[in-house]
């Protein structure tokens, strides 16, 4: 009896030691990428772990797994060889790693040409082909972008996007950015457009002008008010950002005296009304400002100070004084 008892106790001790050994780890830790197929059982997952050298023992792992739950999400996991059993299961319990992706950031106020260059650099889609796709008139976004509109200027929404590493095309990128515009714009008060005497498309045009004219948040609705106040009385907008969009001498980002005489439809110095298209991709804040201008009588503004804000007035004489003061 004593001998039998000693044998049983020895077997229990050996079993316990083996169990503890199976739970532990030692040795080099090399990266292991483990893919759990859809429909895999807990036993299938344990076999993958054991065969990949992630855990020491298959049988003990199955026993421990039953206490933690027997299912894991299908997908790809990043582990190492020689992991502790609990650490391996905890990693699996967090779910699969996100698939590799490409990050594409479009800042507010960018034009299609700039967006095309960023798409080319980031996603390796030729800029010329991307531009052709955005200017072919084959897209619409009712009610904001009417069918048949040639250019998508203003509608590729500025934001940070994630795309898969492979399989991207001009159309998949354009569609995602247009969908983002629709999603973001859905919560804005678009019924205000008719009250303001403009179309939804013109709202985007005005928002793009606001975006290019000021980066100072509190000034957006005031710039918007100046635009509407001038339109109401038939006064030329005289916004240089519109002519810079169609700069007669591109590349220098300045307007010469001869540039200001240009017959371009974007020259709001000598033409009344809005430019024919948006001039950039406006942010959500600028879209809202175009729909909700400040209730002020301002007709003029001038950049003033180093913080990016502007000074506003309804008087031409006061504008001239502010211009001399702010611009030196």
52-56, 125-129, 226-230: the lowest-pLDDT one: 52-56
66 and 108 part of one domain? no
205 neighbors 278 (Cβ within 8 angstroms): yes
Is the pLDDT reported for residue 304 higher than 50? yes
209 and 322 part of one domain? yes
Task: Report the predicted TM-score, pTM, of the whole model to 2 decimal places.
Answer: 0.77
Question: Measured between alpha carbons, how far is residue 207 from residues 4, 108, 264 in Å?
Answer: 89, 11, 20
DSSP state for residue 147 in the 8-state scheme: T
**Residue 282: Cβ within 10 Å count:** 30
Residue with the larger pLDDT of the pair 194 and 98: 194
Domain count, the chain: 3
pLDDT above 70 covers a percentage of the chain that reads: 88
Helix (H) or strand (E) holding 28: none
pLDDT tens-digit readout, 246-287: 988 877 778 888 888 899 999 999 999 999 999 999 999 999
3-class SS string, 207-272: HHHHHHHCCCHHHHHHHHHHHHHHHHCCCCCCCHHHHHHCCCCCCCCCCCCCHHHCCCCCCCCCCC
Q: Final residue of a domain: which of 46, 76, 97? A: 97
Rounded Cα–Cα distance for residues 235 and 277 (Å): 19
Question: Measured between alpha carbons, how far is residue 221 from residues 59, 184, 211, 312 in Å?
Answer: 68, 19, 11, 12
Is the pLDDT reported for residue 23 higher than 80? no
pLDDT-derived band of residue 133, with 50, 70 and 90 as boundaries?
very high
Average pLDDT score over the chain: 88
199 and 136 part of one domain? no
pLDDT tens-digit readout, 169-214: 999 999 999 999 999 999 999 999 999 999 999 999 999 999 999 9
> Containing domain of residue 129, as a range?
101-185
Q: State the pLDDT at residue 9.
A: 44
Q: Final residue of a domain: which of 43, 62, 97? A: 97
Q: State the pLDDT at residue 2.
A: 56
123 and 216 part of one domain? no
Q: What are phi and psi of 161, to 5 degrees?
A: -120, 155
Is the pLDDT reported for residue 26 higher than 70? no
Q: Final residue of a domain: which of 70, 97, 124? A: 97
322 and 201 part of one domain? yes
Residue 10 in any domain: the answer is no
pLDDT-derived band of residue 222, with 50, 70 and 90 as boundaries?
very high
User: Domain holding 93: CATH number?
Assistant: 3.30.1490.480
pLDDT tens-digit readout, 58-92: 665 566 566 556 667 888 888 888 888 788 878 88
- ∠ CA(287), CA(233), CA(198), 5° rounding? 35
CB neighbours of 304 closer than 8 A, spacing ≥ 6? 310, 311, 322, 325, 326
- Region 132-151 average pLDDT: 94
DSSP letter string, 73-93: -SEEEEEESS--HHHHHHHHH
Q: Could you tell me the two tokens for 107?
A: 């800042």
Residue 19 in any domain: the answer is no
Rounded Cα–Cα distance for residues 165 and 144 (Å): 31
Residue 1 in any domain: the answer is no
State the chain's maximal CA–CA distance in angstroms. Answer: 115
Q: State the pLDDT at residue 291.
A: 98
């Amino acid at each position: 009896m004593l001998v039998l008892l000693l044998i049983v106790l020895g077997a229990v001790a050996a079993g316990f030691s083996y169990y503890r050994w199976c739970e532990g780890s030692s040795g080099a830790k090399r990266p292991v990428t483990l893919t759990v197929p859809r429909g895999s059982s807990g036993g299938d997952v344990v076999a993958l772990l054991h065969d990949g050298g992630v855990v020491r023992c298959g049988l003990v792992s199955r026993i421990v797994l039953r206490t933690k739950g027997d299912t894991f999400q299908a997908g790809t996991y990043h582990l190492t060889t020689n992991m502790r059993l609990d650490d391996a299961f905890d990693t699996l319990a967090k779910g699969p790693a996100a698939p590799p992706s490409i990050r594409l950031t479009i800042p507010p106020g960018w034009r299609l040409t700039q967006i095309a260059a960023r798409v080319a650099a980031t996603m390796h889609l030729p800029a010329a082909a991307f531009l052709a796709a955005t200017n072919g008139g084959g897209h619409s976004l009712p009610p904001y972008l009417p069918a048949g509109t040639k250019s998508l200027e203003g509608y590729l929404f500025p934001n940070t996007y994630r795309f898969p590493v492979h399989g991207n095309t001009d159309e998949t990128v354009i569609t995602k950015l247009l969908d983002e515009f629709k999603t973001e714009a859905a919560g804005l008060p678009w019924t205000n457009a008719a009250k303001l005497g403009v179309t939804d498309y013109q709202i985007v045009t005005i928002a793009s002008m606001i975006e290019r004219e000021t980066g100072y948040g509190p000034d957006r609705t005031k710039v918007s008010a100046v635009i509407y106040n001038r339109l109401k009385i038939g006064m030329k907008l005289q916004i240089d950002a519109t002519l810079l969009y169609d700069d007669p001498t591109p590349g220098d980002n300045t307007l010469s005296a001869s540039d200001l005489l240009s017959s371009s439809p974007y020259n709001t110095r000598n033409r009344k009304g809005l430019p024919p298209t948006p001039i950039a991709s406006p942010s959500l804040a600028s879209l809202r400002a175009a729909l909700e201008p400040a209730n002020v009588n301002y007709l003029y503004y001038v950049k003033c100070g180093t913080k990016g804000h502007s000074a506003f007035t309804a008087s031409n004489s006061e504008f001239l004084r502010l211009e001399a003061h702010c611009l030196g």
